[in-house]
Structure 1
Amino acid sequence: MTATTPAAWDASRLPAPWRRPLLALLLAWGALATVFFRDLADMAGQWWNSSTYNHVLLVPAILAWLVAQRWPELRKLTPCGCWSALLPFTGGALLWMLGDFSGFSLARQLGLVVMMQAAVPALLGSRVAAGLLFPIAYMLFLVPFGDELIPTLQLVTARLAMTLLSVAGGPAALDGVFITTPAGYFEVAEACSGVKFLIAMVAYGALVANVCFRSWKRRTAFLLLSLAVPVLANGVRAWGTIWLAGIFGMKFAAGFDHVFYGWVFFAIVMAVTMAAGWRFFDRAVDDRFIDAQALMRSPLLERFALWRLPMPAALFGMAAILALMLAWDAAAGRVEASLPPRIVLPDVPGWHRIDLAPQVPWRPLHGGADQRLFGRYADAQGHVVDVSYALYSAQVEGREAGGFGQGAQPLGSAWAWEGAGPAFADARADLIQAPGPVHRLAVTRYRVGDLVTGSNARLKLAAMRDRLLLLAEPTSVLILSSEDDVTGASIRAYEQALGNVPAWMDRIGQER
């Protein structure tokens, strides 16, 4: 109990060898928070404003509690700097810079947290860092991540709900993330994917696994349980909503879903998960979380301890690394490709422009693009293709061609991802669906330098490479789409008329 008493945290009662290193760590973290205030503010904004990440508001307090648990043993150690920790610090700075190069906020935020983590062994040493290994690793939960799982979780939830509907009996049809029953037409929307509870449950499961278990097998089993239970529970939630709608009507089911199937339902699921693991807890209440003597005797930690670094040198090394990365980033930030003042959709042999008249409004999102074009083409055989083109002078924050929610299925629109479409060369094909149902095939290509791809990951890597080498390359995006033509016959006919699609993209942007 002494670890959590106020006296244990009285600065005047800190062991003398700890005072200057802890002050240096606070100064280093303060400097990082000041230099990267924008990223820290963005993270905090997501913690506060997004229900997916509200649980992260508890993480700083959890970190303080984890350190307090270990303090009685930690105070027996003598902090000393370790130069090898400058390597992960450099990795964090490089990750932040590459994230800034590509406009990838998750990489920037992760890079910031890695730098904060690496500052601990750099200023306090390898033995102290080993004693704080779990709290340092738990800092990763400060990074808001998981939105990228939404489309996959939507599909998993829809299929689980269909499985339960088939077991319960009654007619139902699944089409992507849309389920049709006699009670109505249901969509497993982004908000129903269960991502926010999955992320919170993983953070909770990791904490419980460390605090309540000693065996790595039991820890792993509980973590796997924490991953599986929220996914399965969300499928039950979707099924329950549809089942209630069949008995009491859509209005009642929607109200019940908001009142009960929110955090009340998942609080019960969390309690059941905890109860399932309770009888397997193998850490006694009075167990030490670390053993200072064992840390001092460790041969591996002794090798790291030989690479000592004076505190002023450690601070100077981190400052020098940051200065180099920020100077490089500033130089890359001034590199932008020159673009034509105006671009137009050209004529296509055998095709003519027609008025836009979709069954459900659809327009891709190209946030931050310098130039945008959108039009509809038709040929004599009755093929109709929508064409969306965007041109970017650079890929930076707020101007990412492949950013989250960008492209053929803007986040929050009436359209939901249904599945992968037929294969197209150097492209990504997506089947999307709107209530009706209305189906649409969208084929996306990115063009940067000599690269033509449908992969968002490859696009980001190319953007990082170009910024790293201070190369000015424009990025263009072409999305060809056809409504109610999931085989892609219309798009293939249009591409055949274009000839060389990448060269056609270049001609629009006058890039070559």
Structure 2
Amino acid sequence: MTFSESLQQNRSWLLLSLLLIGVLYRGVVPDMVHQWYEDPNYSHGFVVPILAGYFLYERRSELAEAQVAPWWPGFLLASCGVLQLVLGWLAAEFFTMRSSLVVILAGLTLFFFGKRLFRLMSLPLAYLIFMVPLPYIVYDMVAFPLKLFVTKVSIGFLKLCGVVVLREGNVIQLPSTTLEVADACSGIRSLISLIALAVAYSFFIRLTTARRVLLVLAAIPIAVAANALRVIGTGFLAQYWGARAAEGFFHEFAGLAVFAVAIVLMVSLGTLLSRGTGRSA
């Protein structure tokens, strides 16, 4: 039985499953979407389901002709996802509740369509995890060391350029003003979004597995370096043109500019890595 035939045969059960998912997540998903809208760190969440849908669309021919062999242990995985949702709700732990949706979808895919089709859908399903905001305890564990690192790098560069500057933690003291390296300047925001984009981009240009991993890992130093550049630029402006020049429009524009620079660097690296792979983009 092909995937297309299975969809017709199990149409009622699939619709019932989707209805139950809608009921279970009627409050979880809207709350997550609201966080995408309110929290700039996770605004990329709006793009993730679209990219996951594109991955499915790209494999539509393979999916339509794939042979289906339902695998009953998939029901156990879906049940674990429901249990994860319940435990997350009892503990009021949002990441556990939200990520359980991916587990349930994976389990239902295995249960209705089997392991062969699951392999074809593994990328779109796994990519959905990028839409789930990190727990704040994990976010803070990453953001704080990044802030200190970006501050140290920026201070070192400013001193090399002859700027009189002191550092106290994540605070940069200039003769004319004091700057604080906040979470937005640490690189964590760019890092989360850039890793999600790097994963998608690595599959768009069809790299080998080793080069794909290298491109995704390279998103980390690229994001950190781009944000260090933002802090350095802010320090120069504050030193030579005053504190006002480093605030307001420039501060917002610099955030967009450094992310654009990070994307250009990532695309350039991807182009370099794609040479000699023998695969078309």
> If the length of structure 2 is used for normalisation, what is the TM-score?
0.88
State the Cα deviation string for residues 221-276 of structure 1 (Å, max 9, x = none): 10111122011111111111011110111101113533421223311320222012
Question: What is the CA-CA distance between 1:58 and the residue it aligns to?
Answer: 1.3
Partner of 1:38: 27
Contact 1:24–1:123, Cα closer than 8 Å, also in 2: no
Partner of 1:76: 65
SS of the residue corresponding to residue 15 of structure 1 reads helix
SS of the residue corresponding to residue 279 of structure 1 reads helix
User: Is the aligned partner of 1:159 residue 2:152?
Assistant: yes
Partner of 1:177: 170
Partner of 1:264: 257
Contact 1:56–1:141, Cα closer than 8 Å, also in 2: yes
Letter in structure 2 aligned against 1:228: P
Partner of 2:54: 65
Partner of 2:108: 119
Pick the structure with more helix per residue.
2
Match 2:192 to one of 193, 199, 202: 199
Partner of 1:497: none
- Evaluate the alpha carbon distance shift between residue 23 and residue 160 of structure 1 in structure 2; reply closer, same or farther with a 3 A threshold: farther
User: Is the aligned partner of 1:238 residue 2:231?
Assistant: yes
User: Is the aligned partner of 1:101 residue 2:94?
Assistant: no
Question: What is the CA-CA distance between 1:17 and the residue it aligns to?
Answer: 3.2
Partner of 1:405: none
- Evaluate the alpha carbon distance shift between residue 233 and residue 85 of structure 1 in structure 2; reply closer, same or farther with a 3 A threshold: same
Letter in structure 2 aligned against 1:70: R
Partner of 1:285: 280
Partner of 1:208: 201
- Evaluate the alpha carbon distance shift between residue 185 and residue 24 of structure 1 in structure 2; reply closer, same or farther with a 3 A threshold: same
SS of the residue corresponding to residue 110 of structure 2 reads helix
Map of 1:94-493 to 2, 5 A cutoff?
Answer: 94-145=83-134, 147=136, 148=139, 149-281=142-274, 282=277, 284-285=279-280
Letter in structure 2 aligned against 1:271: V
**Unmatched tracts of structure 1, length 5 or more:** 1-13, 287-512
User: Is the aligned partner of 1:56 residue 2:51?
Assistant: no
What value does the CA root-mean-square deviation take over the aligned residues? 2.1
User: What is the rounded CA distance, in whole Å, between the counterparts of 1:165 and 1:121 in structure 2?
Assistant: 55
- Evaluate the alpha carbon distance shift between residue 83 and residue 155 of structure 1 in structure 2; reply closer, same or farther with a 3 A threshold: same
User: What is the rounded CA distance, in whole Å, between the counterparts of 1:79 and 1:24 in structure 2?
Assistant: 16
Partner of 1:389: none
**Unmatched tracts of structure 2, length 5 or more:** none
Question: What is the CA-CA distance between 1:23 and the residue it aligns to?
Answer: 5.7
Partner of 1:15: 4
Question: What is the CA-CA distance between 1:180 and the residue it aligns to?
Answer: 1.0
User: Is the aligned partner of 1:86 residue 2:75?
Assistant: yes
SS of the residue corresponding to residue 280 of structure 1 reads helix
User: What is the rounded CA distance, in whole Å, between the counterparts of 2:237 and 2:218 in structure 1?
Assistant: 28
State the Cα deviation string for residues 304-354 of structure 1 (Å, max 9, x = none): xxxxxxxxxxxxxxxxxxxxxxxxxxxxxxxxxxxxxxxxxxxxxxxxxxx
SS of the residue corresponding to residue 170 of structure 1 reads coil
- Evaluate the alpha carbon distance shift between residue 156 and residue 90 of structure 1 in structure 2; reply closer, same or farther with a 3 A threshold: farther
Letter in structure 2 aligned against 1:128: L
Partner of 1:379: none
SS of the residue corresponding to residue 258 of structure 1 reads helix
User: What is the rounded CA distance, in whole Å, between the counterparts of 2:48 and 2:12 in structure 1?
Assistant: 22
User: What is the rounded CA distance, in whole Å, between the counterparts of 1:146 and 1:235 in structure 2?
Assistant: 25
Contact 1:213–1:283, Cα closer than 8 Å, also in 2: no
Contact 1:117–1:139, Cα closer than 8 Å, also in 2: no
Question: What is the CA-CA distance between 1:146 and the residue it aligns to?
Answer: 6.4
> If the length of structure 1 is used for normalisation, what is the TM-score?
0.50
Give the number of the structure whose alpha-carbon radius of gyration is greater. Answer: 1
User: What is the rounded CA distance, in whole Å, between the counterparts of 1:265 and 1:50 in structure 2?
Assistant: 19
